[in-house]
Amino acid sequence: PRLMPFRIVAIVEGHGEYQAVPVLLRRLVTEMNPEVTIGRPVRQSRGSLLKNDGLERAVQLAFIETGADGAVVVLIDSEGDCPAELAPTLLQRARNARNDRRIAVILAHQEFEAWFLASASSLRGLRRLPQDIDDHPDPESVRGCKEWLEARMPPNSKYSETADQPAFADTFDLTLARRAPSFDKLYREIEQICREARETLEPR
């Protein structure tokens, strides 16, 4: 019998994501494979992840967190970089660090908050957002998603990464958010990981 759960550990860049990403991953795995657990993320600034050896070190740390069975999900903002170019480069680097384990790299196009823009109608009335907020027609075209959300809050309200991001991550509609291609990619990657986890969890 297996003693260790299959665990997903995320590598993130911000304090907001450090709190929000486990919330989001838990919601996804609850739908797909409730036996998968979510570990504590590894947080590194975007600058140090992109530097030589930065991502590689973070990957090694994350696999210590997963234990014997598990996967690592690198989730950072694209911040204007083209995800289709940067993600494969980062994935190759991560795999060079650990080619024996499952690793996914997702770049939230522009920012993590683009996913809230894609599903804004599901956040109506939450954390100072108005009751009539609508989904953004092209969420990944927005540079400054945090500012877009803040502009719809009452005057003098500031968007707070550490308070608003986890609350929104806990609530936004996962199906609506798949309109954002980068969220759809995260969804599909987690689905795949959960499928593979089921195979490792099958009694031998």
Cα 109 from Cα 139, distance rounded (Å):
9
Strand, coil or helix: 77? strand
pLDDT at residue number 35 = 92
Angle, nearest 10°, between helix axes 181-201 and 15-32? 60
pLDDT at residue number 200 = 75
Q: In order along the chain (204 residues), what is the average pLDDT of each group of 10 residues? A: 79 97 98 94 96 96 93 96 94 96 96 98 98 98 96 96 98 98 98 91 62
pLDDT at residue number 201 = 65
Q: What is the per-residue pLDDT across 28-76, written as a single tens digit (0 to 9) for each?
A: 999 999 999 999 999 999 999 999 999 999 999 999 999 888 999 999 9
Nearest Cα residue to 20 out of 116, 110, 117, 129: 116
pLDDT at residue number 204 = 53
pLDDT at residue number 199 = 83
Cα 142 from Cα 163, distance rounded (Å):
22
CB crowding 180-191: b at 16 or more within 10 Å, else e: bebbebbbebbe
Residue 2, Cβ neighbours under 10 Å: how many?
Answer: 13
Contact 96, 149 (CB under 8 A): no
Cα 61 from Cα 114, distance rounded (Å):
28
Cα 204 from Cα 190, distance rounded (Å):
23
pLDDT at residue number 67 = 87
Residue ranges of E strands in the chain: 7-12, 37-38, 42-43, 70-77, 102-108
> Which residues pair with residue 12 across a beta bridge?
43
Residue ranges of E strands in 131-170: none
Write out the H or E segment, with its range, that includes residue 70. strand 70-77
Cα 74 from Cα 26, distance rounded (Å):
16
How far does the chain reach from its first CA to its final CA, in angstroms? Answer: 9
What is the C-alpha radius of gyration for the chain, rounded to an integer number of angstroms? 17
